[in-house]
Structure 1
Amino acid sequence: MQVSDRFHLWQGLSKRVSDIAAAHRGCLAAAVPEPEPAPPPSDEPCEAAETAARRHAKRLFETVQGYTGTARSLSAIARELGLNRRTVAKYARAACWQECVRRTPPRRSTSLDPYLEYLRQRWEEGEHTATVLHQEIAAKGYRGHYQRVKMAIAPLRRGLPIDTPRERPPSPRQVARWITTTPPRRGLHGTEALRRLLQHCPELDQTHTLVRQFAAMLDARDAAPLPDWLDQLAASGLSALASLANAIREDQLAVVQGITAPFNSGVNEGRITDLKLQKRIMAGRAGVPLLRHRVIVMAHLRRRYP
């Protein structure tokens, strides 16, 4: 009986998701929240204006504090919330959520700073092309790259000051990791960023729905929805998913067994990974006899100290 390995099935799906995210790279910036205007000066520094970072810290503090009254360990809380254990420990030890707010370091000066006022002035005059603005300040002595000018005027397109800092958009690999990760283990930041992205990009939203359907089949060990799921892949209009549907149909019986059967090649994959690790450790400094000796010793130690 041929049985497809569940790990490789999921790995192949994850690779297709990463390809789709890369093809929609222009949508990834939607995962980043719009920067909020600077708060007005206040006479009472303790009553700072509400920002996205402060709301996130407050919500996370209340969530972690809700678990601290139970008998659960910090590691168990971190696994359930999808957070690092150090982060959970920091929020659990804090007396109030204000202690956990990340301090934003002051912005470092760059070679573009002397030209920011000129760029703002030219923008108000109607020049909105980054290439032209870069050529103009290059004639005035600027030696930086065009990409820095393009990033500098990006806030102006959103009606914000030119020096407003902005979070970097996620990479296609990070978006694929958000989509393929079980929702309870994404963490608050990843969940909010993915929600904004899926609202903006219908193709990624469709991909996310299909991925969760396949994950449900693997969790339930139920391959009955597989034919309908393959039809949805083929009709999705996404070439990466359509090619995956064709590949699965060529070996569909083995894939069905991989979903439903209790067997998998995880043990063999672990042995192969360990063999490759031992080979890399030696870095080509010895031949097959030493490699064989190391593998036998490692197998003996595993049996003796499981």
Structure 2
Amino acid sequence: MKEVLLRLEGLLFLSDPEVAVMSAEDDGEVFWIGVTRKSAGAECPGCGRWSNRCHGSYLRFPADVPSAGRRVVLRLQVRRFTCADTSCGRKTFVEQVPGLTRRHAQRTDRLRSALAEVGLALAGRAGARLADVFGISVSRSTVLRLVDAMPDPQPPSPRVVGIDEYAMRKGRVYGTVLVDVETRRPVDLLPDREATTVAAWLAECPGIEVVCRDRAPFFAEGASAGAPTAVQVADRFHLWRNLGEAAERCVSRHRSCLRTPFAVPGSESVTTPQAPEAGASPWPKGHRFADRTREMHAIVHGMLGEGRSRRAVARELRMTYRTVQRLADAATPEDLFQGQWQSRRTKLDDFKPYLRERWAEGCTNAWTLWKEIQTHGYAGGYGAVRAYLRLFRDAVPGGRPPSPRTVASWILTHLTSFRRRRG
């Protein structure tokens, strides 16, 4: 039996040769291991002085890493010693087993480490379920608490650092974010975007060789002061953004090339909205109101052809007599539509020649044209101007011309990517 205990002692407690296994017991559910320390004394955690004056002893039962799905609990006998230094604030203290126990702990350090790793991988609920499969009964809150108690990892000093701003309150309060470009992980957040703050942070990291930043002057000043030997480069996002803005401005200067040329008023090539021909219907087939009117016109004329009176038709169709009379007096459905497209004189009529002239010159922005005719005395609303110009837009072959931003995206997009998006 003694040989078995010695072998168990060597397998479980290699990290501390002062630990001795006194007993091993299996009750069918839990594997109990009796443990004690061989040393004659311990160091006081308050003053660090060695003491072998034993004040008393008691048992602790920390849970250990399970074995073969069975719970393992240590029956650990710990001693309380009296501090030999009379000036120490701790009169007595309890010995701790390195690698196994700590103050007020219910689990050994290796079990705490195992649960913390499970929590890092699976978080609370999933980690607790996996631990239960291994024979560790623990709640999700305990798993999260063990993860939270782990020390924060110390990232290595970055060699290539990216500097940019972030908004704590958009438009009002901004800070600075620093990112390790090689690992693509954030390194630190600064409370402002002042050059002195950036310079102080860079001065604490002497290993920085490259500073990747935008064109903000305060970042340039901070990088020059904090890391004078580092190479300053522009990041890819801002380079691409600046290129896109430059391309869009260039296309905007040649926007007239995107439109179909229009001649001055009076020329035959001027595109103007045309009124419907005489007798033609302004309501095409497929229009819900027009189709319903044509259907009712046919029904009313059919019933009148059968010899029914207009009042009988109105009662049967549950229509007013005046509606039946209007349908009966119209020879064709198109007669009912006459006059609907012939609008009355509006406030915009006096300004339509000016709008056509400005459209021919290349100004197609409805809001801009509305503001212009307001200075000439127009008292109407923006909607009437927009509706009138829509007739001009519909007359452009191929529809509305592309915007400068759309053309700039065509220029900057790789041909293979464009074809892949188009399918």
Above 0.5 in TM-score? no
Q: Which has the larger radius of gyration?
A: 2
TM-score by length of 2: 0.22
User: When you count helix as a share of all residues, which structure comes out higher?
Assistant: 1
User: When you count strand as a share of all residues, which structure comes out higher?
Assistant: 2
Structure with the greater relative contact order (CA < 8 A, sep ≥ 6): 1 or 2? 1
